[in-house]
A and B are shown apart, each in its own frame.
Chain A
């Protein structure tokens, strides 16, 4: 092999290694999650894990029912989406179709900047501003609850959904709008009957990304939703999400190899599976609804 050829080979392998690094790390994470979860399921039956409605690894009477953490995650995510989907989509439609182009150009970057606010700030906003506000309206509201955490999480996701959906709606070719207008469609009809269906894949992708964001969101729920695993869909009481459980235990002193330690990994593996499924759905949706424009 000539020196030049060797040099080429070295460069090529360096590039290959760098680009494989991320994949290797991900594989390593999956391996660790699987390994520790395997250890966990040696001690706890998967049936209990998926059907028990109590999660009390640190109590004398230990229960390992992940459902109560799932319930917390589900509840906050649904509340967040109930806020973010309508507001985000309406903002996207307004920006793309109704607002003056100058307004759009200046507002969009601002929207994207909101996404840069650290989530810990949102968490305290939920705990110290939204919850007291809601308490005026809902007297029975606990100081830690999924309602205000969910609402604030929704506010956090609005820019994400608004911005990505706006991209998708705006990317629909102008000639489709013109075709509809020329048939006597109103602006709202153009939005409903032409733009939303045509931009469906992009909008769905933005929503699913929002859901992933909500499921993985940690700080807001850890601060404002409480740390009490509870199998409930009542938004007014303290709950605990999968993510906030991981935070709670990671800060403690669960020793490696113990079952308490392994619960972190099994919770993490559950999160991983959830986001993986969501991403797969998103990918499938995108493929299915991808429109080939001429």
Chain B
């Protein structure tokens, strides 16, 4: 097993509120890692630290280190733009751009000044196929993405991320706004994507974590209480707090 991202002694605060306290975690390549924990435990903040999505908040402060393939993500010389391209993200609510299906997928390439129609056509088709959306939209690529259903929009957002050839995909509760059928589709898709991508998924849904992930980290009050193989966390956790949470005693 190859490690791809490593967080060490991460302490994060927004203004005076400390959100993460001394979190260390190693994420493995081409595996699915689930991050679970009650609301406000810092799991989304942790996820957003990995591709520096918290940078846009004025009062964000981070100590400790995150490395991605050996490079320090928060180093001064890091090219944040390039790094965000390699570590993609899918959000809680589907957020397609108010443009066509085609342009949504092509967005990541266009901002790199790739405008060759042949390349774009090819990438759009391949990405939509990988995101299991191609068959549903191939005849209406020019239609507005906003007219797709929630589940389709979410798969479009996944296609958009795949299109820029990211290596890691961060999922921030990707199914929380979807119905069970769409959720199932996204889960199947995530399992399929695992072959080529490293996946980290924040989820509120313990069954989801259990079903799809290889590793699970349990966060509580800004601390990583326990981290290990999913089977172990759900069936034979070391910490009492973890056992209580996965049993559904609180949360």
Contacts and interface: CB of A to CB of B under 8 A. Distances in A.
Interface of A: 100-101, 173, 175-186, 189, 193-194, 197-198, 291-294
A294 B150 contact: yes
A233 B51 CA distance: 55
Mostly, the A contact residues are helix
In which size bucket is the chain B interface? 20 to 34
A294 B146 contact: yes
A198 B146 CA distance: 12
Contacts of B94: 294
Nearest to B55: A181
B102 to A, nearest CB: 14
Given A100-B58, A101-B58, A197-B98, A179 B81 contact: no
A183 B88 contact: yes
A78 to B, nearest CB: 30
A193 B95 CA distance: 15
Contacts of A193: 97, 107, 110-111
Nearest 4 A-B pairs (CB), nearest first?
A: A184-B85, A182-B89, A175-B95, A183-B108
A103 to B, nearest CB: 10
Interface string B137-168: 00000000010001001000100110010000
A184 B58 contact: no
Given A176-B97, A294-B146, A185 B91 contact: no
A141 to B, nearest CB: 44
Contacts of A292: 146
A182 B88 contact: yes
Interface of B: 51, 53, 56, 58, 81-82, 84-85, 88-89, 91, 93-99, 107-108, 110-112, 146, 150, 153, 157, 160-161, 164
Contact of A176 (B58, B95, B161): B95
Given A181-B56, A183-B164, A175 B93 contact: yes
Contacts of A189: 111
A183 B107 contact: yes
Contacts of A183: 84-85, 88, 107-108, 111, 160-161, 164
Given A292-B146, A294-B94, A180 B58 contact: no
A175 B53 CA distance: 11
Contact of B157 (A101, A179, A186, A291): A179
A182 B161 contact: yes
